[in-house]
Amino acid sequence: MKRKKSKIFRFIKIMLVLFLLTMGGIFVYIKTSPKLEINSANSFVLYDNTGEVFFQGNESKTWVSLDDISDYLIQATIYTEDKNFYKHHGFDFLRILKATYVNITSGTTKQGASTITQQYAKNLFLDFDKTWKRKWDEMWYTMRIEANYSKDEILEGYLNTINYGHGKYGIENASQFYFNKPAKDLDLAEATMLTGIPKSPSNYSPLVNYDLAKERQLLILNLLVENDVITEEEKNQAYQEELVFSGVEQQEELETVMYYQDAVIKELETIDSIPSSYSDTKGLKIYTNLDLNAQKNLEKTIRETIPDESEIETAAVMMNPNTGGIIALVGGRDYSKSSFNRATDSMRQVGSTMKSYLYYAALENGFTSSSAFTSEATTFTFNNQSDYSPRNYNNTYGNKPISMATAIAYSENIYAVKTHLFLGSDALINVARRVGITAKLEDIPSLPLGTNEISIIEMAAGYSAFANLGYKVEPHLIEKVVDADGKVLYQADNSKELVLNSSLTFILNNMLTGTYDPDYIDYNYPTAIALASKLTHKYALKSGTTNTDNWNIGFNNDIVSAVWVGYDDNQSLNTSEYKYAQNIWYESVEFYEQGKSDEDTWYQKPSNVSAVLVDPISGKPVTEDATKKKLMYFIKGTEPTATDPVFDEKVTEENPT
């Protein structure tokens, strides 16, 4: 074992000598090359849909010199991140050697050896490059920075651009955020607390995990004692000092954009025309679809709807159905506690929101708003002799034929499964694919009940095809990307593809208003009847409910809004928690639509569609003494008659029941 370690050590020394010779030659080349610009490298500015800046990355709003930064903070940063910063030329070779030896002999990656200059290079130039090439680029940029800038300039740039969590880049912004004071006034306790954050802002922010932040603060204080920067007594006093944080009160404004901002950067990575390492662009201007008022209200509504003590999570997307532009996005309840973006990175069971695709398929295959199946407890037996017994919510059945419009209003599971089996599974899957659903869809009887998992953005985009009367759109946050010289690197393509019949989507959209319509009160209540007196505009609306997930997706021709609520660990929801998604949906969409009229946001009847007064429950034409009358829509020539059959009568052994 001893001989093996000796060989490893000798090999490392040889490689290090070769490395030093190579680096020396490269350093001479760099010194004679044009100076690398770092002031604007890899900076990006995000604009909302009005052209106002809402986020700046790697570009501090307030740049301060080293003279205006607490010496405690400077010393703590150096002794924590790079003890030999003022002695090396970008790479701490002894530290690299030690870290390599420890990692090889231990079989782990316990130790790292990145210098402040290396970290600065990575932050400035390499945010999007995730290949092995990144390491070589990092080395190259590190040498160019060291060759062209003084140590003080490098340290100043590093401290003014590093991420201190909660969207705060740069020490001055961080100091103001956490302690409401300039960076030059930070005391030892405050400085060491802030120094610990950049290693992992999502873990070491005192606003996220105070105990973990205190552990790291103590580690940093001990390093300062070991290097004779402070005394043991000063360490103890600093560690025991009660810190007062101001960032909690300032959180509201920040939280409204962080999930959206992360989603923008994630989307930026997918755009081929944006280079993975774009230092030559000298910064990017990214124009997005963000409606800051809608975003702030959505966040506010979530905070006011879900109790603080609850651990339930949420995701929400508001989309322009005519372009696919995402105007608001929430990926969770509290970015400071969890930066995981449930809007972009999570897939959940969608429940009965899947039924809208099924019922469009039914309309396309000859069904009408009045087409009837019998609402009753049903066991389906298949040719392989297996049984399937879905249930309606609360085991409520009409034990009589009901119209498709009623099935939508009540979200009847029996009607949905009968329709699905009657049409064949290809019909539902085909519609879902046409409108942009790419998630796996299993060919099973429960497919229309939403047992498959789909992302909230895909669902919002899919419903946009209903909202815009038949056109598939591509969901996106970014409209345009421009470099510092004004060159347009990317422009969103907002073209639409007609994938559905506009007249049939008009009919479906009107049936989806029945979910909160008192005219459908009979043996059951519409699923969103609680909203009947609250909504001031007309919307199509569908809810989806499983044991672990609750959805509300609603729209008009102006906006599609999708809200999901559930637990990250898939624990079951209790009865009171099923109201959260509905309340978030209606509060946020009503805010967005205030001041607009239904004449502008609802749909004009197509010329090939007729309006007929029918009994909403049975779907039959009304008689003179009818107590319930509802205007429903039909393709001309398909209007209901009193003798229309109930579809159960047509189900055969080939279409099993």
pLDDT-derived band of residue 1, with 50, 70 and 90 as boundaries?
low
241, 257, 278: which is the final residue of a domain? Answer: 241
Cα distance between residue 29 and residue 34, in whole Å: 10
Encode pLDDT of 277-315 as tens digits: 554 445 789 999 999 999 999 999 999 999 999 999 999
Q: Could you say which of 59, 81, 138, 146 is catalytic?
A: 81
Q: Is 43 a catalytic residue?
A: no
Look up the CATH number of the domain holding residue 373: 3.40.710.10
**Residue 654's pLDDT is what?**
42
**Residue 23's pLDDT is what?**
63
**Residue 425's pLDDT is what?**
83
Q: Which ranges of 329-403 does DSSP label H, i.e. alpha helix?
A: 342-345, 355-364
- Average pLDDT of every residue of the chain: 87
Q: Could you say which of 352, 370, 411, 561 is catalytic?
A: 352
Positive or negative torsion for Cα 443, 446, 452, 456:
positive
Is residue 247 in some structural domain? no
**Residue 129's pLDDT is what?**
47
Q: Are strands 284-288 and 44-47 parallel, antiparallel or unpaired?
A: parallel
Encode pLDDT of 333-350 as tens digits: 988 778 899 999 999 999
Query: Same domain, yes or no, for 345 and 204?
Result: no
**Range with lowest mean pLDDT among 190-199, 269-278, 282-291, 379-388:** 269-278
Angle at Cα 176 formed by Cα 173 and Cα 178, nearest 5°? 105
What number is the average pLDDT over the span 482-487? 85
The per-residue DSSP string of 265-324 comes to HHHHTT-TTS-SS-GGGT-EEEEE---HHHHHHHHHHHHHHS-TT---EEEEEEE-TTT-
Query: Same domain, yes or no, for 96 and 210?
Result: yes
Encode pLDDT of 451-466 as tens digits: 999 999 999 999 999 9
Cα distance between residue 389 and residue 633, in whole Å: 32
Query: Same domain, yes or no, for 236 and 301?
Result: no
Specify the 3-state DSSP secondary structure of 599.
helix
Query: Same domain, yes or no, for 189 and 314?
Result: no
Query: Same domain, yes or no, for 552 and 623?
Result: yes
**Residue 86's pLDDT is what?**
87
Range of the domain at 134: 2-33+64-241
Is residue 237 in some structural domain? yes
Nearest alpha carbon to residue 307 among 534, 571, 577: 577
Query: Same domain, yes or no, for 519 and 622?
Result: yes
398 in the Ramachandran plot: left (φ > 0), alpha (ψ -120 to 50) or beta?
alpha
Q: Which amino acid is at 319?
A: M
pTM of the model: 0.80
pLDDT tops 50 at residue 63: yes
Positive or negative torsion for Cα 651, 654, 655, 657:
positive
**Residue 653's pLDDT is what?**
39
pLDDT-derived band of residue 200, with 50, 70 and 90 as boundaries?
confident
**Residue 211's pLDDT is what?**
94
Domain count across the chain: 2
| Residue 368 CB-density burial (10 A; 0-12 exposed, 13-18 middle, 19+ buried) | buried
Give the C-alpha distances (Å, rounded to integers) separating 223 from 100, 517, 550.
22, 67, 50
Encode pLDDT of 242-254 as tens digits: 999 986 544 445 5
**Residue 149's pLDDT is what?**
85
Cα distance between residue 269 and residue 608, in whole Å: 45
Q: Is 60 a catalytic residue?
A: no
